[in-house]
Amino acid sequence: MDSNAHNSKHAIIFGASGVTGWAFVNEMLHDYPSPGTWGRVTAMTNRPLSLKDSMWPADERLNIVSGVDLLEDSQEQLDMTIKKAVPNVETVTHCYYLAFKAGKDMMQEFRDAEAMFRRSVTSIDRLSPELVFVVLQTGAKMYGCHLLENHYLEPPLTETLPRLKQPYHDQLFYHPQLDWLADYAKDKNWTWCETRPDIIIGFVPNNNFYSLGTMIGIFLALFMEVNGKGAECSFPGSMKSWRAKSNDSSSDMIARQTIHLSLRPESCGNGNAYNVADHPDYETWETKWPQLCSYFDLHGVSPHPSEPLEVRSYISKNLPQWKKMEQQYGLKKGVADSDLTYQGFEYFLLTQFDFDRQYDMSKLYNTGFQEKRSIMESWGLVFDRMREAKIIP
């Protein structure tokens, strides 16, 4: 580990209430990788989030800062807003950018993503002379996985693959983010890296635009309530998706791996990109689904050829039953049918992601990171937290 890794540090996490951001804050407050590493943790959230609702531990090192609009006003005014809102911002050593403003207007989403990132990093760079490391989280879109039938890069997907060809290159906002960061960081005393998870599995205390773990947890809890323990639950996707190879990226492991990288600025900075995932070996839904169903006392089986299940339509059809469950078990209301969730994303991920896209994880593990997690070590923890948060019974 680099020599300064055990000095007390101040982390700022943009997008802290999102599916990955939540885990970063949680891991730091639980002293990952070791006690004394983190002296301050600033959690930047767009929507208000109380400590009680966050399910983070009560810790004097934590500051939750809500309501700073990263797109509002001039750069200088944003600098002033952050300076007023963030105690001891001048001591920030590590900046983790995980924020994302989802939208249905793709061009607006593109412009917002580029501007939010540029403005956030500029502010922290200007306000903190102690800055050591910046992380930008991108994802499997760097490999064109979102192109579905038009994807063309062959797995295993490795960080050395070239950028997407046109016209796809200019449609992906990660590219201008990365190009700006590479240029901006040239003459700085700090360094940076990029991390690339696939579909992120994690817990969110607030509703989230995309959270597959949340919706599958609700779907399976509802299915068990409707059909009883031991019922057969067919995979709510396609047979091609059932057999497609991929690596799960749980938010806890993304956080741990990213923190590990960011505490090694000399060896892991310099604009390096890293795949991040739970395990170097790929999985399929064929191996995962029976394990997920077993958590809910269900028997998971392959997709039904003539009567396929679909997560969103099943929840909608049985919403009256879910409302009864909210009352019966004292569950948090409005999660299953939240307006904040992008309707139908589950179909997209479980049916249309039907091709092999497994990662080459050797670069990350060659940095000295050793931990690996099984399917239920990752998914089971998400479901446990959902129960604790009264999202599922």
pTM higher than the cut 0.75: yes
Phi, psi for 41 (deg, rounded to 5): -135, 115
Least Cα distance to 26 among 67, 60, 66, 54 occurs for: 54
Which residue did the predictor score with more confidence, 209 or 227?
A: 227
Question: Six-digit token pair at 235?
Answer: 């995979």
Exposed/middle/buried for residue 286 (C-beta within 10 Å: 0-12, 13-18, 19+): middle
Q: Quick one: average pLDDT of 228-237?
A: 98
Say if residue 26's pLDDT is above 50: yes
- The predicted pLDDT at position 9 comes to 98
- What's the pLDDT band for 23 if we cut at 50, 70, 90? very high
What confidence score (pLDDT) does residue 4 get? 41
pLDDT band at 6 (very low <50, low <70, confident <90, very high): very low
Relative orientation angle of helices 251-262 and 21-29, to the nearest 10 degrees: 70
Q: What is the pLDDT of residue 335?
A: 87
Q: Residue 231 has which token pair?
A: 């019922």
Secondary element (H or E) of residue 349: none
- On whether the CB atoms of residues 329 and 393 are closer than 8 A, the answer is yes
Q: Is pLDDT at 210 greater than 70 in this prediction? A: no
Higher pLDDT pick, 6 / 106: 106
pLDDT of residue 7: 67
Contact criterion met (CB below 8 Å) for 64 and 16:
yes
pLDDT, position 3 = 36
Average pLDDT of the chain? Answer: 94
Residue 284 burial by Cβ neighbours in a 10 Å radius (0-12, 13-18, 19+): middle
| Tens of pLDDT, residues 342-375 | 567 788 899 999 999 999 999 999 999 999 999 9
The pLDDT of residue 172 is: 96
Query: Which pLDDT does position 326 carry in this prediction?
Result: 96
Q: Specify the pLDDT at position 36.
A: 96
Q: Quick one: what percent of the chain has pLDDT higher than 70?
A: 95
pLDDT tens-digit profile of 63-94?
999 999 999 999 999 999 999 999 999 999 99
pLDDT at 347: 87
Q: Helix H segments across the chain? A: 21-29, 51-54, 75-85, 106-127, 174-184, 212-227, 239-243, 251-262, 265-268, 285-295, 311-317, 319-329, 345-347, 362-365, 375-388
The model's pLDDT over 276-324, given as tens digits with 9 standing for 90+, comes to 999 999 999 999 999 999 999 999 999 998 888 999 999 999 999 999 9
At 106, the pLDDT band (50, 70, 90 cuts) reads confident
pLDDT at 203: 92
